[in-house]
Amino acid sequence: MSDLPALEPLDDDDTRTIFVTTQRTVQAAPIEWVHYVLVAEGPERGLRVPLGANPVHIGRRAPCELVLADAEVSARHCELRLAEGELDAIVNDLGSTNGSYVDGRRVTGSLRWPPGASLQIGRHVLKHEYRPLREVQRSAELDRDVRQASRYLQSLLPPPLITGPVRSDWVFVPSAQVGGDAFSYGWLDDHRFAIAFFDVCGHGIAAAVHSVAVLSALRQRTLPGVDFADPAQVLAGLNDAFPMDAHAGMYFTAWGGVYDRTTRQLSYASAGHHPAFLVEAGRRSVRALATRNPMIGAMRPERFATARVDVPAGSSLHVFSDGVFEVRDTDGRQLGLDDFTPALLEPALPGVTEPQRLFDKVRRACGGAEFDDDVSLLTLTFLA
Amino acid sequence: MDLRINSQADPSVQLVVLQGRLDTAGVDAVETRFAAATAGAGRDVLVDVAGVEILTSMGIRMLLSTARAMSGRHKRLVLFGARDLVRDVLDIAAIDSLVPHAADEAQARALLQG
């Protein structure tokens, strides 16, 4: 017997259309919920460990189930276990030196740790998650894809040059595993060496996708009608190829140069990018190299301005993204380019590349905190 | 990031005040309201950025996109009062033909007249 209401018979001239359907009973698949300990902040950010029937021990060394490489974490710092029949976890401090803090409250003995609450241990902040298993699995898949994208982008960057008249080193640290900084360099012919550095607005996946497109155009030299030995033409070509209206409103800043070893001159042009810096071999002077052009993709200037500088033997050129210096120090003070540039004249450190030395200095200035923006530092040394 | 709109006796100019960090998070917090207060205002706009602590690439993108939208409607956006760090960023960006900036409100109004 149908459960549908009886329908009145239609007259021949009735123009109504009646849709008849049947009620469907959908059997929802059971959702499995799981507790997790997520490292939300700190050097080990991103680690996620399930919290189930067995307790999770956190400490600086194995056999803890969650090992945090953190000098402020005790060898066996605390234990986490689920409260039976409840959603809360229990934090049991194991006599740690620096303590454990649940939402800012120090754990003396044991303390409840509800889902969503924070647990600070050393320089790390952990979160208690209670999430569907399938959702966590999808996040993990996305994380794997992002890491793969990051490896791909890094593979497109040129390797450091350890031989020849021009040497190079670099540091590349995207803020979100992938970002919009990238650079390329290489010999155009037997005496001209080209450099291109750019920074797509924002960071993350969208910026990375755009930077790959720009990097490919530079690596493959596919900008039509462009003499790649002329930095102004390169910038103009990029500007024509990547208008922000056609690229989801994205623009990028750029710095380009061509070094001619026969004349020992560097011609350069920048577009919305802070200066690169040329430091002579004795580190007694530094020269800012920039020309005033709008960011790539934002406008259509009549021409891009270039300039030229002599390069004494042994000079180093430092090109870097603004993520290097737009940081806050340990007092919360916002730093700028002028706070960073004095470091360029400081002595080299044995066994440490210049980009690494500069990166470490900035990281110390902001107390080891993670960078908000992508960080790229490129140093080229012109030996001959 | 905070945004305030000051209604002015002058019907041809809207004054918008931005305060805080104009970084990715700051832009997320105010972008929609900023667009409504500027491109959607139907008149020229002065933006007081004296309270902006830092201007990152996403902040520039917000300003640039807004200025381009207003330019299409023959309206202009002028910033004023930028702190040193912010002013340096604007100078380097070299977008003053679209997003001009002045030292103070009086000079900003003069730019609108010109």
Contacts with B67 from chain A: Cβ below 8 Å? none
DSSP A13-37: T--------------PPPPPEEEEE
A202, A272, A299: residue with CB nearest B98: A299
Contact B94/A249, CB-based, under 8 Å? no
Total domain count, chain B: 1
Contact A202/B24, CB-based, under 8 Å? yes
Omega of the bond leading into A63 within 30 degrees of 0 (cis): yes
B56, B57, B85: residue with CB nearest A336: B85
Contact B94/A292, CB-based, under 8 Å? yes
Query: pLDDT by residue for chain A (384 residues), tens digit each?
Result: 455 566 666 677 777 777 888 777 777 778 899 999 999 888 787 888 999 999 999 999 989 999 998 889 999 999 999 988 889 999 999 999 999 999 999 999 899 999 999 999 998 999 999 999 999 889 888 888 888 888 888 899 999 999 999 999 999 988 766 788 999 999 999 999 999 999 999 878 888 999 999 999 999 999 999 999 999 999 999 999 999 999 998 999 999 999 999 999 999 999 999 999 999 999 999 999 999 999 999 999 989 999 999 999 999 999 999 999 988 888 888 888 999 999 999 999 999 999 999 999 998 888 776 777 889 999 999 997
- CA-to-CA distance for A41 and A48, rounded, in angstroms? 12
The two three-digit tokens of residue A307, written as one number: 């300039």
Mean predicted lDDT score pLDDT of chain B: 89
pLDDT for A271: 97
| B38 in Cβ contact with B66 (< 8 Å) | yes
- Asked if pLDDT for residue B9 goes beyond 60, the answer is no
DSSP state of A7: P
Contacts with A253 from chain B: Cβ below 8 Å? 57, 93
- CA-to-CA distance for B8 and A58, rounded, in angstroms? 59
pLDDT for A20: 80
Strand order in the sheet with A33-41: A48-51, A33-41, A124-132, A118-121, A100-102, A105-106
Which of A296, A372, A375, A376 is the best residue to mutate to test the B interface, defined by the most B CB atoms within 10 Å of its own CB?
A: A372
A226: Cα separation from own chain's centroid: 31
DSSP A210-244: HHHHHHHHHHTT-STT--TT-HHHHHHHHHHH--G
Flag whether residue A181 sits within 8 Å of chain B, measured between CB atoms: no
Q: How far is CA A310 from CA A279, A315, B16, in A?
A: 12, 10, 47
pLDDT for A162: 96
Contact A253/B88, CB-based, under 8 Å? no
Flag whether residue A203 sits within 8 Å of chain B, measured between CB atoms: yes
Residue B95's closest chain A neighbor by CA? A294
Q: How far is CA A248 from CA A210, A242, A243, B47, in A?
A: 10, 10, 9, 25
Q: Which of A253, A113, A128 is nearest to A183 (CA)?
A: A253
Beta-carbon count within 10 A of A229 CB: 14
| A350 in Cβ contact with A356 (< 8 Å) | no
Question: If you count them, how many residues does chain A have?
Answer: 384
Residue A323's closest chain B neighbor by CA? B56
Flag whether residue A373 sits within 8 Å of chain B, measured between CB atoms: yes
| Three-state DSSP state, A143 | helix
ipTM: 0.87
Contact A253/B57, CB-based, under 8 Å? yes
**Furthest CA-CA distance within chain B:** 35
- Please list the residues that pair with A166 across neighbouring strands: A382
Interface of B with A in 23-82 (CB under 8 A): 23-24, 53-54, 56-58, 60-61, 64-65
Which of B27, B57, B62 is the best residue to mutate to test the A interface, defined by the most A CB atoms within 10 Å of its own CB?
A: B57
pLDDT for B8: 60
Q: How far is CA A138 from CA A29, A135, A145, in A?
A: 17, 5, 11
The CATH number assigned to the domain holding B81 equals: 3.30.750.24
- CA-to-CA distance for A192 and A365, rounded, in angstroms? 37
Residue A293's closest chain B neighbor by CA? B94
Between A133-156 and A205-219, two packed helices, what is the crossing angle to 10 degrees? 20
Domain with B79, as residue range(s), is 2-113
- Asked if pLDDT for residue B7 goes beyond 60, the answer is no
